[in-house]
Structure 1
Amino acid sequence: MNRFYLIPDLFACALLLIASGCRTPVQEESQVPPDPVREQFIRANRYMQQRHQDHIAAFVERVGWEAEVTKDGLWIVMEKEGAGKRIIEGSRVSYSFESMLLDGTPCYRATEEDPKVVVIGSGDVESGVEEGLGRLREGAEATFIIPPHLAHGNFGDRNKIPGNTVLIYKVRILDVKQDG
């Protein structure tokens, strides 16, 4: 038997062993340690959101409204179901509204003669208002109770709405137009 036939096989095995030994060892993903300041802010925000929800719940009970609460924390009191077109993403919605603080202090308004017009999904209005409008139809009337995180947040609008304030919006859907 010729020993020279084994040399190429041994050479190939040696190359494989060397190549496999040269690989960089797989390192586990490094875990970023939690930032204690960030965690503290998250806890504080959750606490504040819960306080606002409790405050809204007490208000709704006190005035005797029956409200639906969305997963985001928007409260909706349906005054009149609309029979018209459904509001969907991209709808151009004309509506009248009155906004006020929880104590009744008026903030802003738009009348039937001079309505507010918004395209759903454009972000041109408070996220709580947009979410509420998206649950209505043309002709509907509703009241939205909007916690700060869905309205003007910690700073307010620097005009009529103070920071960290729950808002009430009474809306009436006047017209809904859909592209297409």
Structure 2
Amino acid sequence: MNKKAFLLIATLLAMGCKTPEARRPISVTTGSFIDASVARNQRLNAEEEAEIERIISKQADHEFIASETGFWYYYNTKTEIDSLQTPDFGDIVNFIYDVKTLDGHLIYSKEEVKVRNYAMDQEALFSGMREGLKLMKSGETATFLFPSQKAFGYYGDENKIGTNIPLMCEVTVHSITENKSN
């Protein structure tokens, strides 16, 4: 092999082995958008919480309970039977509910929603309802006040519930069927 061919091959190999240099960003962004978003969400949460507290203060005839996960509820009908269990992962919960705005305007009636069978934590259901069902036993009815982040949040339900709408839901659990494979 002649020297020129050898130099050509060596040069091509050397250039081919070079790793590409990372592209530099055209502009550098700061955390200002994220900071503004956090501030906006904190303000929204504070406004919704104040509205919920106002509603609670007007309903002195109900004993509201603050959940550990950020919503409030009271029992319309409470079962005092200790042998009844709250649902666990995979249990089938047969329930019905309605959906209202916090000022009581009906969004979805129980007739529209219909009775549901829900496999606990295995199907899609908004987070507040999923967490609320975990607190209930068969035969109980509870009214929940969900801030928007526990309801349908920023996206709404793409039908009747708009962006960042806190909700009131009255839920009745008809039965809980234990998942035998747990």
Q: Does the alignment reach a TM-score above 0.5?
A: yes
1:87·1:138 contact (CA, 8 Å) conserved in 2? no
SS at match of 2:109: strand
TM-aligned CA deviation for residue 122 of structure 1: 2.2
| Partner deviation per Cα, 1:46-76 (whole Å, 9 max, x = no partner) | 2211211111010111132321112321111
Letter in 2 for 1:108: Y
Q: Say what the alpha-carbon RMSD is for the aligned residues.
A: 1.9
Letter in 2 for 1:103: D
TM-aligned CA deviation for residue 101 of structure 1: 0.9
Where does residue 39 of structure 2 map in the other structure?
43
Where does residue 110 of structure 1 map in the other structure?
110
Superposition misfits of 4+ residues, deviation over 3 angstroms: none
Q: Of 76, 79, 91, which residue of structure 2 is paired with 1:79? A: 76
Percent identical: 21
TM-aligned CA deviation for residue 34 of structure 1: 6.7
User: Hey, what's the Cα distance between the residues in 1 that align with 2:123 and 2:71?
Assistant: 16
1:68 corresponds to 2:65 = yes
Q: Equivalences for 1:116-155 in 2 at 5 Å?
A: 116-155=116-155
1:54 corresponds to 2:50 = yes
TM-score scaled by structure 2? Answer: 0.73
Letter in 2 for 1:77: Y
1:159 corresponds to 2:179 = no
Q: Equivalences for 1:167-178 in 2 at 5 Å?
A: 167-178=167-178
Letter in 2 for 1:172: T
TM-score scaled by structure 1? Answer: 0.74
Larger Rg: 1
User: Hey, what's the Cα distance between the residues in 2 that align with 1:104 and 1:85?
Assistant: 31
Query: Structure 2: which 5+ runs fail to align?
Result: 1-28
User: Hey, what's the Cα distance between the residues in 2 that align with 1:151 and 1:73?
Assistant: 11
1:99·1:169 contact (CA, 8 Å) conserved in 2? yes
